[in-house]
Amino acid sequence: MSDLRELYQDVILEHSKAPRNYRELASANHKAEGYNPLCGDHFTIYLTLDGDKIQDVSFQGSGCAISKASASMMTQSVKGKSKEEAEKIFERFHKLVTGEGNGDREELGKLAVFAGVSEFPVRVKCATLAWHTLQAALEGKQENVTTE
């Protein structure tokens, strides 16, 4: 059970049950959809960009606990950040969940709870779906994102 507890941390379970910023954003000027055909996870990310700054961010959709909690905590961590800062956080987060490095844990703050994902390679896609979708929204891409 121990690596399961590592994966399903209380914070993650709590966010999956009560996701933050879970709504459509009326003021959004960027939007992207992300889809994981493997498990049917499907999220829409809404962004209000003011120049380079993420003024507001929200999401809607359905998915597993990992993908939903990741989306929820992502919105919290990138709100108020610049595009570049958000990209940087994703880069660190990606390294964390793929087990490529733990050195940035402190800088990741609360997002470090996703470290357990690295023990479950098939779940990396779940943890990164919202982030890939955010990237697409930031770049203003129109096409849908999939993690396949």
Partner 1 sequence: MAANSMPLEFHSAMPAASVAGYDVEKVRRDFPILQQQVHGRPLVYLDNAATSQKPRAVIEAISRYYERGNANIHRGVHYLSEHATSEHEAARRTVQQFLNAGDKREIIFVRSATEGINLVAQTYGRAHVKAGDEVLITAMEHHSNIVPWQILCDEKRAHLRVLPINERGELRLDELPKLLTPKTKMFAFTHVSNALGTINPVKQMIEIAHARGVPVIIDGAQAAPHLKIDVQELDVDFYAFSGHKAYGPTGIGVLYGKRDLLEAMPPYQGGGDMIRSVTFEKTLYNDLPYKFEAGTPDIAGAIGLGAALNYIERLGLENIAAHEHDLLVYGTEALSAIPGVRIIGTAAQKAAVISFVIEGIHPHDIGTILDREGIAVRTGHHCAQPVMQFFRVPATARASFALYNTRREINVLAEGIEKVKEVFA
Smallest gap, in angstroms, from Cβ of residue 99 to partner 1? 16
Neighbours of 55 (CB within 10 A): 15
Q: Which stretch binds partner 1 (CB under 8 A): 26-34, 43-51, 63-71, 102-110?
A: 63-71
Among the listed residues 8, 29, 83, 88, the single contact to partner 1 using CB under 8 A: 8
Instruction: Tell me how many residues contact partner 1 (CB under 8 A).
Output: 24
Q: Which residues pair with 47 in a beta bridge?
A: 30, 57
Decide: is 62 part of the binding site for partner 1 (CB under 8 A): yes
Residues belonging to the chain: 148
Q: How far apart are the first and last CA of the chain?
A: 29
DSSP string, 83-99: HHHHHHHHHHHHHHHTT
Q: Which stretch binds partner 1 (CB under 8 A): 46-54, 62-70, 85-93, 107-115?
A: 62-70
